Amino acid sequence: MRHAYSTITVKDLSEDAREFVGIASTPSVDRVGDIVEPGGAKYNLPIPLLWQHDKNQPIGEITDARVSKSGIQVKGRILKASQSRTLMDRLDEAWESIKLGLVKGLSIGFLPNEYEPIKESGGYRITKWDWHELSAVTIPANMDASISSIKSADRKILTALGPREGVIVLTEQDRRACRKSDVFYLTK
């Protein structure tokens, strides 16, 4: 599974329904030089919404996705829990973090089907891809979808932060060595 990041653009927050509207992906070159073409997305709604790409921490779902040349606009909701204190805490933390602007990033979890190298950036233009999940994340790479400025870490900072469970920071050489059939987490 690969990840590509953009910034959550909160255009509307519905407190009662815990709904938001944002941009999941744009066709801009990201920090590692990749372009994920919005029109190449293959998906089924609803799309799982995860917290920080942790498959063990679902927080809601994406109920609508509108693909255009400029990006993928999504509508999502963070669910409410009434029985499990642990689940209530996670869902409330996610909602509060997005409302306060502490978590502004969205990141698509996907598998590429078709791609081509981009000589100028050393990355890939991913033209067809299977979209498996969307995550609310703290550190995005694609800043084009932002309505407010945020400071985010680049590869050197992410590497300096050290290993994190389920995430591998790949060097440029490692990334180029990966084949289409490889499944991995790519932190941008």
Residue pLDDT, tens place only, 13-67: 666 788 888 888 889 888 778 899 999 999 999 999 999 989 999 999 999 999 9
Q: What is the pLDDT of residues 106-155, one digit of tens each?
A: 888 899 999 999 998 889 999 999 999 999 988 765 554 332 222 223 34
Number of Cβ within 10 Å of residue 166's Cβ equals: 11
Summarize the confidence of residues 169-173 as an average pLDDT: 47
- Per-residue confidence band for 100, with pLDDT thresholds at 50, 70 and 90: confident
User: CA Rg, the chain, in Å?
Assistant: 16
Q: pLDDT at residue 161 above 60?
A: no
Lowest mean pLDDT among 24-33, 95-104, 153-162: 153-162
Nearest residue to 142 via CA among 35, 2, 12: 35
pLDDT of the residue at 126: 94
pLDDT of the residue at 165: 40
pLDDT of the residue at 131: 96
- Per-residue confidence band for 12, with pLDDT thresholds at 50, 70 and 90: low
**DSSP assigned state of 102:** S
Tokens of 184: 């991995």
pLDDT of the residue at 186: 39
pLDDT of the residue at 92: 95
Instruction: For residues 54 and 56, give the distance between their C-alpha atoms in angstroms, rounded to a whole number.
Output: 5
Nearest residue to 3 via CA among 50, 44, 64: 50
